[in-house]
Structure 1
Amino acid sequence: MGSDNEIRPSAKAKGKGVDRSDEMEREQDETLPWVEKYRPVSLDDVVSHKDITTTIEKFVEKNRLPHLLFYGPPGTGKTSTILAVARRIYGPNFRKQILELNASDDRGIDVVREQIKQFAETRTLFARGYKLIILDEADMMTTAAQAALRRVIEQYTRNVRFCIICNYVNKIVPAIQSRCTRFRFSPLPMSEVERRVEHVAEAENVNLTDDGKRALLKLCQGDMRRALSVLQACHAAYDRTGETEVYACTGNPLPVDIETVVNSMLSDEFLTSYNLINALKTERGLALQDLLVGASEYVETIEFPPAARIYLLDQIATIEHRLASGASEKLQLTALLGIFKNAVELTAKAGTNIV
């Protein structure tokens, strides 16, 4: 006779009409990206932004939800918040009552005239009396599409509510902004990101070291999506998720490499430093753009005279702009070496030493 813990096939499982919905759901959860698997379900689960979620909760309770405009850096919870709102309004089957479009793909005027207008024209029999249209990355929409959208928003307010999501609010035309209640999503506090990363690491049995966690938090810059994506990539590629593994997965140069490069540019001869950086770029597979970002951060930790620091940061920004415009990496590397040599001279003229 088997124990109580033994798994026995049920009578339902033996028949032809096997209900495998729970099993399929578990399998689907295992294959989901962690960003989706651990996406907030309710407004209470949304990390930070309690002032925003509390205000929207009051709108929903009074059945007075306005058109919404969410803007802010990526990975700060904009899409998660509106999906939690939709679940709060319509229940588990909220997908039937919403139209979710990514304006990066559907950015022209045709999508406004066809998909959005067609969805907005149909009334809902649901108790709330309105449906929800979510336009993600709306700052990628053309000006003509935004002009057409403005007319649709005011024409079908009885049937639908719009939630417009973007990273750069200045790319949304003022006519649409004035028709929406705006909420800014700021970068998430490091403590909140750390708490969620620790929760996911524990749930997924990730061997996350302290230096790996610090590197992850430094690189994500308050972007929860990036933090969880990098964590999952490192867990898939390595048995241990430490600082080296995090930087290897993201393709960013290690802090020790940045320190070596900057110190070489400050103290070594031009040709010696040039050869060292070229060898490091080849060995690590780094781009000059990566070194520029790391160098600008490391410069903040070095004691320069104000004039030398301003000169350095200004010239690093200029080199980054040239690279983005298609300039030669080889020539811009020599320019980078030149500005550090000039910074050393400015420091010497000021009568101070670089620390």
Structure 2
Amino acid sequence: MSFFQPHVAKASQKHTLGPEHQPWVEKYRPKTIDDVSAQEHTVAVLRKTLTSTNLPHMLFYGPPGTGKTSTILALSRQLFGPDNFRSRVLELNASDERGISIVREKIKNFARQTPRAQAVASDGKTYPCPPYKIVILDEADSMTQDAQAALRRIMENYARITRFCLVCNYVTRIIEPLASRCSKFRFKPLDPSSTSSRLSQIAVAERIPVTDEVISALISTSQGDLRRSITYLQSASRLSMSTSPPSDITPSDIQEIAGVVPDAVIQDFAAALGIDVLSDAAMDVDDTAKPKVKGFDGVRKKVREIIREGYSASQIISQLHDVIIEHPILNARQKSRCALAFAEVDKALCDGADEELWILEAGLRVHKAVS
């Protein structure tokens, strides 16, 4: 047990920050599984384990920021209580410690130790405290193939006294012999109503006035990632409090923090490509700023203006793609040609190609497709 004492000491020091200095994603992390947002099926199944205490090996998978790690940590706290949590739960991030040596040493040493008898909880509450420990492997899809193969054997040998929970984004990167030993739980991207409810609760708790437009901007920029939306909200709050007197948070502030190209800029670019702009954002652009010249010269001029502003090329392509695919007037053939162009440009950008040149390429091909 002495092998883990330094790890425990560091963890205790790391969590001594006061609530006012904590990141909000940690401050408002669910304390119980009932606090987990939008994952009703998973929560319903895990709630039964609190009564039976018969926990299988588990595999949590799904997009980032959907509550995978928070769920297993909340369940562990409800099972063991605050006093036994550190001795019964080993949490490792496999993206940092992913080699076979970690599996053979740290994980095996922890898994083979028989858990101690239940101690009386200091908070006066009664916890199930089942006769096993839990090993949480976050980012398990980053583990090497050899490490996963070694982990399979440990799961078999010590299943009586140790349960494993693998947390990953891509379930296909977990080897099949390992995945077949676990009960799989899929975490879905959060729906807008669940995200809106959670963000509103945090805003009220922090006494931050936010409008429905700001909440909508947080939801659209985070794309179902609750952790990201909470981080954006905290950043926007600090930005608004930095002025005297404090200013109101606006949707444009959220887009600026998120690195999203403003809707007006994307709509202006789309208009330069010959796409009929129908959204309200386009109405905010001064008519004199809208391009009067179409064709190659008009597209090249607009591309240069956007690139000089320093916007991300991949972000421009992503948002322009959404505008075109959701456009109510363009037909399926036009949209498919644009989508093919975006796919080729995205591949080129991933390979390190020149951003301005390939944004121009995308613009010209879209202009040709919609003409």
- Structure 1 residue 237, shift from structure 2 partner: 1.3
Counterpart in the other structure of 1:243:
251
Mapped partners of 2:174, 2:99: distance in 1: 14
Counterpart in the other structure of 1:13:
none
- Structure 2 CA distance for partners of 1:37 and 1:282, relative to 1, 3 Å: same
- Structure 1 residue 26, shift from structure 2 partner: 9.6
1:300 aligns with 2:290: no
Match of 1:310 among 336, 342, 346: 336
Q: Secondary structure at the match of 1:133?
A: strand
Counterpart in the other structure of 1:289:
314
1:102 aligns with 2:104: no
Counterpart in the other structure of 1:191:
193
1:322 aligns with 2:348: yes
Counterpart in the other structure of 1:350:
none
- Structure 1 residue 194, shift from structure 2 partner: 0.2
Q: Which amino acid aligns with 2:316?
A: L
Mapped partners of 1:180, 1:126: distance in 2: 26
- Structure 1 residue 245, shift from structure 2 partner: 0.3
Counterpart in the other structure of 1:130:
132
- The answer on whether the counterparts of 2:337 and 2:369 sit within 8 Å (CA) in structure 1 is yes
Deviations 1:114-158 (A, max 9, x none): 110111111111342111100001011111111111111111111
1:175 aligns with 2:177: yes
Counterpart in the other structure of 1:66:
56
- Structure 1 residue 70, shift from structure 2 partner: 0.3
1:55-94 alignment, distance < 5 Å: 55-93=45-83, 94=85
Q: Which amino acid aligns with 1:130?
A: Y
Where structure 1 has 5 or more consecutive residues not aligned to the other structure, the ranges are: 1-24, 346-355
Q: TM-score, normalised by structure 1?
A: 0.87
- The answer on whether the counterparts of 2:295 and 2:367 sit within 8 Å (CA) in structure 1 is no
Mapped partners of 2:303, 2:66: distance in 1: 35
Equivalent pairs: percent with the same residue? 37
- The answer on whether the counterparts of 2:341 and 2:366 sit within 8 Å (CA) in structure 1 is no
- Equivalent pairs counted in the alignment come to 320
- The answer on whether the counterparts of 2:63 and 2:189 sit within 8 Å (CA) in structure 1 is yes
Q: Secondary structure at the match of 2:163?
A: strand
- The answer on whether the counterparts of 1:131 and 1:161 sit within 8 Å (CA) in structure 2 is yes
- Structure 2 CA distance for partners of 1:112 and 1:75, relative to 1, 3 Å: same
- The answer on whether the counterparts of 1:69 and 1:183 sit within 8 Å (CA) in structure 2 is yes
1:216 aligns with 2:207: no
Mapped partners of 1:227, 1:68: distance in 2: 27
Counterpart in the other structure of 1:111:
102
1:34-73 alignment, distance < 5 Å: 34-73=24-63
Q: Which amino acid aligns with 2:204?
A: E
Q: Secondary structure at the match of 1:100?
A: strand
- The answer on whether the counterparts of 1:209 and 1:240 sit within 8 Å (CA) in structure 2 is no
Q: Which amino acid aligns with 1:186?
A: K
Moved over 6 A (4+): none
Mapped partners of 2:250, 2:117: distance in 1: 50
Q: Which amino acid aligns with 1:231?
A: L
Q: Which amino acid aligns with 1:121?
A: R
Counterpart in the other structure of 1:271:
297
- The answer on whether the counterparts of 1:210 and 1:242 sit within 8 Å (CA) in structure 2 is no
Where structure 2 has 5 or more consecutive residues not aligned to the other structure, the ranges are: 1-14, 119-129, 241-246, 276-293
- Rg (Cα) greater in structure: 1
Structural RMSD (CA): 1.5
Mapped partners of 2:367, 2:273: distance in 1: 7
- Structure 2 CA distance for partners of 1:26 and 1:324, relative to 1, 3 Å: closer
Deviations 1:164-192 (A, max 9, x none): 00001000000011100000011111101
Q: TM-score, normalised by structure 2?
A: 0.83
Q: Which amino acid aligns with 2:266?
A: I
